[in-house]
Structure 1
Amino acid sequence: MPITNLVPPHRRQEKGIKGLFKNPLIRLLAINWLIGLFTTILICAGILLTNAAGMQELILNSENPIVPLALLFFGLLITICSVTMGVAVMSLPREDLGDDPDR
């Protein structure tokens, strides 16, 4: 059974952000995106606080430290959020295909 069948028909027609978050798949992805965001913040803070690979020194010695900080943060954000959302989708229970070779 597809996950979209879990939403009653009257809820599928709702418009706007309220209707969007009533979809369980969108809610699942949003929650896991937030988990990825929190993890990214922790990893960036850990890299900077521990001076891993001299990143803190490199960033602080640059003439505009905002650019390398933004590149580090958004690069990690895209990667880690993609991983958390991918794990969530791949962990969803799937319909048993059985012995039917046509599926």
Structure 2
Amino acid sequence: MSAPDPQEGHEHKRGEDCADYLERIVFFLDNELDEADCSAVRHHLDECGPCLKKYDLERTVKQVVARSCHESAPEALRAKVLVQLREVQVRITSTD
């Protein structure tokens, strides 16, 4: 018989739901929360192993995406995209 997982079925004070914190993690990572919310999220992550794991995953994905987004599109591709955007704008304007 294995030992019970201390994180399994964990409950937080005042009925706080992990789903609420998981939604706020993205805003927390982007520094878009006020200090009170940041403090609450930090406290929750200190107390909740499963949410901390999800936070670490989100942070890692965000870092990898940020590193990958430093490349610029080739000039020929940029020109083609601009032409297509202008064509769409002309079509929208002519149907109005």
Answer 1 or 2: higher relative contact order, Cα 8 Å, separation at least 6: 1
TM-score class normalised by the smaller sequence: 0.3 to 0.5
TM score, norm. by length of structure 1? 0.35
TM score, norm. by length of structure 2? 0.37
Return the index of the structure with the highest Cα Rg: 2
